[in-house]
Structure 1
Amino acid sequence: MEDPNYKVKSKSLNKNINFNYYVLLSIVFGGFLIFGLSENIKGPAIPKIQTDFSLSEAQLGFLLALNSLGYLLACSFTSALSNKIGIKWTGIIAFVSMAFAGVCMYFSHAYFFLSASYFLLYIGNGMLEIGLGIMAARIFTKNTGMMMNLSHFFYGLSSIVAPIFASSMMTWEAGSEELGWRGMYFIMLSVSLLPIIPSLLGKFPQEHAEKEEVISYYSLVRDPVAWLIVAILSFGIVSEVSVGNWLVNFLVKSYSWSLKDAAEMLSLFFLFFTLARLLFGPITDKIGYTLSIMIFSFFSGICSLSAVIVGEKGAILFAIAGVGIAPIYPTVMALLTKLYPKGTGTAITFTVTLMGIASVIGSFFIGFIIDSVGGGKNNILGLQVGYGMIGVLALICSICCIFLFVVLRKRNKVV
């Protein structure tokens, strides 16, 4: 005989599952919003920081490389930490560390202390991104490419407004002085505390997932496909991150743009970037992840190089390049979930950690190129060559996709 309370219990269970799903969505989407803010408020702040501390381009590149090193360190231990204490508390620690980094920046009056503050911020960023990546891979089992791009759309959404908010906030009056970049960082990073609320309410997939992972780090090291994916993500992300690091500086020094106008161009880049992730996600599911990355990265590289060659009249191409670079990261994450379905966490950690190494090298390398080519304080040629490298990296990303496509086709595993 059927239990009369069965349907009531079933409906209640479904409601609880749906509520928890929306809570998890709010953490993933909100986490990427915070991530976008923390990553891209530095664009307008960098020229001010460089002036305050009298930094050369190479010192600035070293500072950005230290940021990537903090990110890399976080990637190396976050997966193990989340296995021990769960994604919930790993995420909460990440949010708290980012907010605390804002406090440290507010009180930073020496280059060493500033570097340590940035280092702490990027440890939080790395912990957050790995946690969000693993969580999203387990939640989005259908239409993975579309949902991964939608999640990262929120990163782009906050990235659009971050440079404008940052440049405006630095001019706010705080008593008898301007708020400046220190106060801006303090306020903006305090927002990192907000996602802690849904984090405490949600039940995370990791708590109920099977712990066994078929894929090991040893097998990934021996897999040429894994290394090709690392190369694709590394070249693509160094190209993407470098825009946020150098575009404002490039426009201000090469074309004598105001800080406000340069920040608006960076925001326009992130507008195209965000719209691409919102609109092109379904396309990646239809034409395949490997082919999608190949096409988009090629487009981005051509736009960036064309912008440098054409000059100030072609500055809009810097922003349009965001259309191509945007889908690379989320589409690679979707690719990993399909190629390594029983070891996604391991594959993501392996790939993103090595990508972090490339980011450290890439940030320092571009700063070194800018400082080395031409020389002098008004090093326009160095800036042009350095920014041209950003476009070249995107083209190399596309070339790596060709090799990956060939290897996967031989294995009959084209995704």
Structure 2
Amino acid sequence: MVTTTSSRDQEAHIATRHDYDHDLELSILPIQEAHVHEDPSSCQIPTTIAAEEPDAEPTNEAIVVAQSITNPPINKYRLLTVSLLNFLGGLNDSAPGPLIPYIERHYSVNYATVSTIFVANAIGFLAAAPCTNLLERRLGRAWTYVLAELSLAAAYIALACSPPFPVIVIAFLPIGFGLATALSLSNVFCANLSNGTAALGILHGSYGIGGTLGPLMATGIASRTGGRWSLFYFLPLGMALLNTVLAGWTFRGFENDIEMSPPVASRSSSSPEESFSHAKLLRGAFKNRVTLLGALFIFAYQGAEVSISGWIVSFLITSRHGDVSSVGYVSAGFWAGITVGRFLLSHPAHTIGEKVFVIIAIAGAVGFQLIVWLVPNMVGEAVAVAIVGLLLGPIFPCAAAVFSKLLPRNIQMSSLGFITASGSSGGAVAPFVTGLLAQKAGTFVLHPICIGLFVAMEGCWGILPRLKKRTI
């Protein structure tokens, strides 16, 4: 026990505690950011410094343990929860592709009209960008997740009732909001674990699994029920309700576990007023070069991904004369490729280097997209589409890991929220433009649009700042 006998000793002790608090803040940074000493016999985040000898000089060193997948133990269940949240995101995003022909037939609408669901989804994502950080500060992590999942559940109830088409478009607004909010929080949670690359791989691999199963379930339900496409949405409704319960339980007390409010430490110092000013954080995020390049990159990435998923079935039906009840499974092959890529190629990507790997993967995706466009063979095209998915799969987790390393911590939540929202904008604008042009020229326009987006991705990725190890 340390005793104090004079005001001078008290001042030294207060200084020690101040330095310790600073060290504790830095302890939650990803493993690349700080040297962490982990005690294998403990899985709790220490809240006290080692006892000092009575005559020892005050020290500012603290023994801390960074959060990981298993530390604290509840993080295992939190990772499972965010994986299920992202699984639902994949299920949701991959279903419209095989369902579009049935929706067109049911409501007697054309390509351009049905494409408005992508626009509504993007508006919901954009609405979430400035709100996610504010909601978490006001409600906490657990209740923000609950709000996001309840907004999804309300939208799925509307879709399952097969309402008039304008109501369908409106229902995609809360879907976009809920998915964007949950995805931003999940990306930040996983990226800031000490083994963040592995956690991000699991998170986005789960999205790929949902994306693979979505077309299979949607095609199976719609084709076996006489085109009653709306019945599919009872499945994501059940998932949304389950996720509401899990998120509320696993993230209860999350702020206490990290021993602080949302992180404010960054590579560049900031005043307390600036750190806790929501408006200033947003302005800083939107002016940051990495944020802007990341937003453009993910805009192009998700634009290509959703365009392929949403329109490859229509392309095979109109240009290759495929049967609607069978070519829907090609979309499942694309998402299966994304899933396999995220689980199997994320580690080699980290070994090679994320920046180099992404450049190679995008170049390969361009090549196989050309095969889908120019080779009129149904089997060959199905295989090529799956390989495009395989190459695109690890790009998102690689990009999330790189952005989390490059972004200052005080704007990380706002920046990743903006990047996520931009991705959904790309996932709306690109398929919407594809639908408009397909109405005039034909569904083959999918391919030049995707290739152009791949080229834009290469350009944005190539001018990102070099990765530098953070120092403390």
Point out the structure with the larger helix share.
Answer: 1
What is the identity, as a one-letter code, of the residue corresponding to 2:422? Answer: L
Relative distance call for 1:202 and 1:392 in structure 2 (3 A) is same
What is the identity, as a one-letter code, of the residue corresponding to 2:438? Answer: I
Which of 175, 187, 194 matches 2:242? 194
Q: Percent identity between the aligned chains?
A: 21
Q: What CA distance in whole angstroms lies between the structure 1 residues aligned with 2:310 and 2:108?
A: 17
> Is 2:394 aligned against 1:327?
yes
What is the identity, as a one-letter code, of the residue corresponding to 2:232? Answer: M
**Shift in Å, 1:219:** 3.6
Q: What CA distance in whole angstroms lies between the structure 1 residues aligned with 2:207 and 2:326?
A: 22
**Shift in Å, 1:92:** 1.4
Q: TM-score, normalised by structure 2?
A: 0.75
What is the identity, as a one-letter code, of the residue corresponding to 1:273? Answer: I
Residues 297 and 398 in structure 1, CA contact (< 8 A), matched pair in contact too: yes
Partner of residue 430, structure 2: 362
> Within 5 A, what are the aligned runs for 1:4-403?
17-138=71-192, 140-142=193-195, 144-172=196-224, 178=226, 180-203=228-251, 205-207=254-256, 208=258, 209-211=260-262, 212=264, 214=266, 216-313=281-378, 314-315=380-381, 316-342=383-409, 343-373=411-441, 382-403=442-463
**Shift in Å, 1:348:** 0.5
CA RMSD after TM alignment: 2.6
Q: What CA distance in whole angstroms lies between the structure 1 residues aligned with 2:375 and 2:173?
A: 36
Q: TM-score, normalised by structure 1?
A: 0.85
Q: Which 10-residue stretch deviates more, 357-366 or 84-93?
A: 357-366
**Shift in Å, 1:236:** 1.1
Q: Which 10-residue stretch deviates more, 104-113 or 321-330?
A: 104-113
What is the identity, as a one-letter code, of the residue corresponding to 1:96? Answer: L
Residues 145 and 248 in structure 2, CA contact (< 8 A), matched pair in contact too: no
Deviations 1:113-133 (A, max 9, x none): 111122222222122212211
What is the identity, as a one-letter code, of the residue corresponding to 2:108? Answer: S
**Shift in Å, 1:239:** 0.6
What is the identity, as a one-letter code, of the residue corresponding to 1:413? Answer: K
Q: Give ranges in structure 1 of 5+ residues lacking alignment.
A: 2-9, 374-381
Q: Give ranges in structure 2 of 5+ residues lacking alignment.
A: 2-40, 46-69, 269-280
Q: What CA distance in whole angstroms lies between the structure 2 residues aligned with 1:338 and 1:229?
A: 12
What is the identity, as a one-letter code, of the residue corresponding to 1:352? Answer: T
Q: What CA distance in whole angstroms lies between the structure 1 residues aligned with 2:424 and 2:255?
A: 24
| Structure 2 SS opposite 1:19 | coil
What is the identity, as a one-letter code, of the residue corresponding to 2:85? Answer: G
Q: How many residues align?
A: 387
Residues 27 and 195 in structure 1, CA contact (< 8 A), matched pair in contact too: yes
Residues 307 and 318 in structure 1, CA contact (< 8 A), matched pair in contact too: yes
Relative distance call for 1:414 and 1:60 in structure 2 (3 A) is farther
